[in-house]
Structure 1
């Protein structure tokens, strides 16, 4: 089956530019497949998948969209249709890479469609909005966004250079993926979560498991990191989880900036894979600069982590609720799950003489977690803090036992 570079764009208004990219990729030996999402007029050249088919995939027709004459509704519909078609092409193993370009509309459609493509397959968006906030377009996908500098409006001296760079970039990524596809990767991939305040623990765990032959993916628990890990679990890419840093639950509960949404810590149970879970950095909720902290928290305890990040200590009640939330999520998992609780501290700040040292908060977290967790899930307690080398060794050997079934580790 041929792996195409799939180009998604409005060939009625951006046909010249998409033809330039198509021809450039084909000169480099990359076959292309064109999806037309134009609504206004006939395409400049014949696509492989016409706009009529895209509209039908979204549950409407091109004629209806033209009659409604609402640009916002048309963009939404064509984005959905492109997503559905690209999802089918992925399932047919026909996608080697994806390309989109345009202003806000073209970027929206291209980015929405790319959500159907697994992490690892190249995705490139040339966009007029790539110099601003790109999170709404990138989400948790590995989308490469290139700022177009000038509008996508014809081929001129500058746009020719920008689009040529994009062609070479996508072609290089696609060819590298094709070359790698012939190499069988034998190492088992595990996912881990980390924060700066749990780095010593995660580093030692990673070193132990890499020596054992595992491939470790470490995710920064900043909301997007947790969501990306969960998506890779659902995709079957990650075969075991060391969820050491579960702080994203605190941001979701209290209203911090690093929430991973209400479904964090659920993918492992769905996939029925081994999980070693701890409570790293649950002593904190994350905010930006001090002036951005909501007024209702003005009397709370804070720590200035850096000029752009302010940490807020979680309270006893919040920890009590966090323990219950964590346990209820893990109760959906099988007996492949183990919880490890470091009673000496959950981060570098939760230590004697440090800013967030809190025995009472830690006890609230411990009690609610232990009492809510179903008896079938092992609950291992240690008197040391999470960054003590013995805790890292315990986490690593527990994961090895779960993965390899060796009770003598």
Structure 2
């Protein structure tokens, strides 16, 4: 039996949730729907599988909501629902999850989906805020968003159409997930995560082709836009990668200088903690990312800026900032590594990005030296190998050699 969790605030959205439940079942009568009520006020209805009271009793220590603020209620109900949904998932009882609501319901539902379910499990939210800034909703996960167009507040023909589409979509996703679950763990290919940016694309393309052409490997390329780095860290934590070639660590620059593509302070932790083969390089650490040029903070107006395109302005990392980036890399690896033999750091001194080669607009030998010296100093006496290389990061031979270094750590032999 395929089953889907329908998550919602039944005290404010019961009519709409029941319509969505019926839309799912009309798509396939063999699908079971678990309706979980995460509203502030208790609702009694035969269609509710787990009431608000049930959630608080089983997962919230019978806490009362009367004296809590709206934000505190959302936080508590999200915690309770996450525990309930995780329990259902771990028992193999569910194959998809969907919700519908406004900003509060979306915040609650997305928290549950991010915290309780792994990447690859079908997740969908019909939301009034799905056409705005969706980064805080999705973060590093694969939540699917559908804009409700009108508010989820009373049924009309437009909302019925949207909810019907959503019901059919989650039903199809859940059935597909249920049918492929037994197959998902049978692949013999090793899974390698690689980080990429536009200015390191030639290297990543060469690495990917070399690994997949010569070894039983499939690569997972993560665009280092902040959420990409977070996604790789999360997938590694979930056991979804066997090795990491962290070629492009540019998100650290944004974290330290206030750019728009930060992956946060936990970057570089997961692979080191997991003890899996992990090669780290300094791709695109010559830059911090901002939006259009007029969005660059005033304190940076006198810096070397480069318009990558009308929507992205790059700022060259200074000598001092480069040293801070190197210190961050060394500190993270030093703090979290399990086995120094599983970690290497490669320093391509001929250019750390497409525009940081000697004749490029971001060429800065002093900054690059400060970066590498901070890494060497921070990793002294750790046993972690540092490879100094005169080539540029996008040199095809460099890409080949760093790929082979990872293969050696993975102890793989070419099937050819």
- TM-based fold match above 0.5: yes
* 1:401 counterpart (369, 383, 408): 408
Aligned to 1:330: 333
- Is the contact made by 1:15 and 1:45 (CA closer than 8 Å) also made in structure 2? no
1:343 paired residue among 349, 372, 380: 349
Q: Which residue of 2 aligns with 1:118?
A: 118
1:287-366 aligned within 5 A: 287-331=290-334, 332-333=336-337, 334=339, 335-366=341-372
Q: Which range is displaced more, 176-185 or 271-280?
A: 176-185
CA contact (8 A) 2:100 2:125 kept: yes
Structure 2: runs of 5 or more not aligned: none
CA distance in 2, matches of 1:301, 1:143: 37
Q: For residues 43-97 of structure 1, give each alpha carbon's deviation from its aligned partner in whole angstroms, at most 9, with x where no partner exists.
A: 34342211013234664646x21x3274333223212221222222222232311
- The Cα shift of 1:352 comes to 2.2
> Structure 1: how far apart are the matches of 2:68 and 2:407?
59
- Structure 2 counterpart of 1:371: 377
Task: Select 1:389's aligned residue among 374, 390, 396.
Answer: 396
| TM-fit CA distance, 1:306 | 0.7
> Secondary structure of the residue that 2:405 maps to in structure 1?
helix
Q: Is the 8 A contact 2:350 2:358 kept in 1?
A: no
SS at match of 2:248: coil
User: Any idea what SS the aligned residue of 1:189 has?
Assistant: strand
| SS of alignment partner, residue 187 of structure 2 | coil
Rounded to whole Å, the distance in 1 between the matches of 2:57 and 2:108 is 16
Q: In the alignment, what sits opposite 1:80?
A: 79
- Cα deviations by residue, 1:137-156 (Å, 9 ceiling, x for unpaired): 11111111101112223333
Give the Cα separation in 2 of the matches to 1:139 and 1:351: 33
Alignment check: 8 A CA contact 1:82 1:109 kept: no
Residues 2-11 or 305-314, more deviating: 2-11
Partner of 1:270: 273
Measure the CA separation in 2 of the matches of 1:104 and 1:189: 36
* 1:98 to 2:105 alignment: no
CA contact (8 A) 2:86 2:117 kept: yes
Provide Cα deviations, 1:330-374, integer angstroms capped at 9, x if missing partner.
Answer: 223222111111110100111122110111111111122122214
8 Å contact 2:23–2:163 — kept in the other structure? no
State the partner residue of 1:140: 140
Report the TM-score, using the length of structure 1 for normalisation: 0.94
Alignment of 1:258 onto 2:261: yes
- Flag the 1:202–1:82 CA change in 2: closer, same or farther, 3 A: same
Could you give the per-residue CA deviations for residues 86-124 of structure 1, whole angstroms, max 9, x where no partner exists? 222222232311100011122122111111211100101
| 1:315-339 per-position Cα deviation (integer Å, ceiling 9, x unaligned) | 1111122212211222232221111
5+ residue gaps, structure 1, are none
Cα distance in 1, alignment partners of residues 211 and 297 from structure 2:
41
For the 8 Å contact 1:15–1:43, the answer to whether it is kept is no
Q: Deviations over 1:209-260 (max 9, x none)?
A: 1112211111111111100100000000011001000111111111111111
Alpha-carbon distance in structure 2 between the residues aligned to 1:44 and 1:71 = 23
Length-normalised TM-score, structure 2: 0.93
Which is further off, 122-131 or 33-42? 33-42
| Alpha-carbon shift at residue 162 of structure 1 (Å) | 0.8
In 2, Cα distance between the equivalents of 1:152 and 1:126?
9
Q: Deviations over 1:248-289 (max 9, x none)?
A: 111111111111111100101111110111100011111111
Corresponding residue for 1:228? 231
RMSD of the TM alignment (CA)? Answer: 1.9
2:42–2:53 CA contact under 8 A, matched in 1 = no
SS of 2:176's equivalent in the other structure is helix
